[in-house]
Amino acid sequence: MSEQLEPVGVIGVGWVGLVTAACFAELGHQVIARDIVPEKVEALSRGEITIHEPGLEELLQRNAERIAFTTEMDELLAGARLLFVCVDTPPTYSGDADLSRVRAVVEELREDGDHVLIMKSTVPAGTGESIRRDKPNLSYVSCPEFLKEGTAVKDFMHPDRVVIGADPGDEGAAEAVEALYKPLGGEILRADVASAEMIKLASNAFLATKISFINEIANVCEEVGADVGQVAEGMGLDERIGPKFLKAGIGWGGSCFGKDTIALKKLAGNSGYHFQLLSAVIDVNELQKRRVVQKLKKHLDSLAGRRVALLGLAFKPDTDDMRDAASLVLAARLEGEGAEVVAYDPVAAERAATLLDSVEMATSAMEALEGADAAVLVTEWPEFAELDWVAAAERMARPVLVDGRNFLDPQKLVKAGFEYEGIGRTALDAPRTASAS
Ligand SMILES: NC(=O)c1ccc[n+]([C@@H]2O[C@H](COP(=O)([O-])OP(=O)(O)OC[C@H]3O[C@@H](n4cnc5c(N)ncnc54)[C@H](O)[C@@H]3O)[C@@H](O)[C@H]2O)c1
Q: How far apart are CA 74 and CA 67, in angstroms?
A: 16
Task: Ligand 1, residue 144: give the atom nearest the CA.
Answer: 7
* Res 110: pLDDT: 80
Mean pLDDT of 246-250: 97
Ligand 1 lining (C-beta closer than 6 Å): 11-17, 34-37, 40, 86-89, 101, 104-105, 120-122, 145, 147, 149, 255-256
CB 246, CB 266: distance < 8 Å: no
Q: How far apart are CA 221 and CA 63, in angstroms?
A: 50
Task: Ligand 1, residue 255: give the atom nearest the CA.
Answer: 1
Q: What is the pLDDT of residues 79-107, one digit of tens each?
A: 999 999 999 999 999 999 999 999 999 99
CB 32, CB 68: distance < 8 Å: yes
* Res 435: pLDDT: 39
Q: What is the pLDDT of residues 164-177, one digit of tens each?
A: 999 999 999 999 99
Residue 331 pLDDT greater than 80, yes or no: yes
**Mutation to probe ligand 1, out of 13, 15, 83 (largest number of atoms < 8 A from CB):** 15
Q: What is the pLDDT of residues 46-69, one digit of tens each?
A: 999 989 999 999 999 999 999 999
* Res 426: pLDDT: 77
Q: What is the pLDDT of residues 9-41, one digit of tens each?
A: 999 999 999 999 999 999 999 999 999 999 999
Task: Ligand 1, residue 120: give the atom nearest the CA.
Answer: 10
Please say if 256 is a catalytic residue: yes
Average pLDDT, the chain: 95
Q: How far apart are CA 49 and CA 38, in angstroms?
A: 14
Q: How far apart are CA 126 and CA 109, in angstroms?
A: 19
Q: What is the pLDDT of residues 180-223, one digit of tens each?
A: 999 999 999 999 999 999 999 999 999 999 999 999 999 999 99
Mean pLDDT of 257-277: 96
Residue 429 pLDDT greater than 70, yes or no: no
Q: What is the pLDDT of residues 336-368, one digit of tens each?
A: 999 999 999 999 999 999 999 999 999 999 999
Residue 433 pLDDT greater than 80, yes or no: no
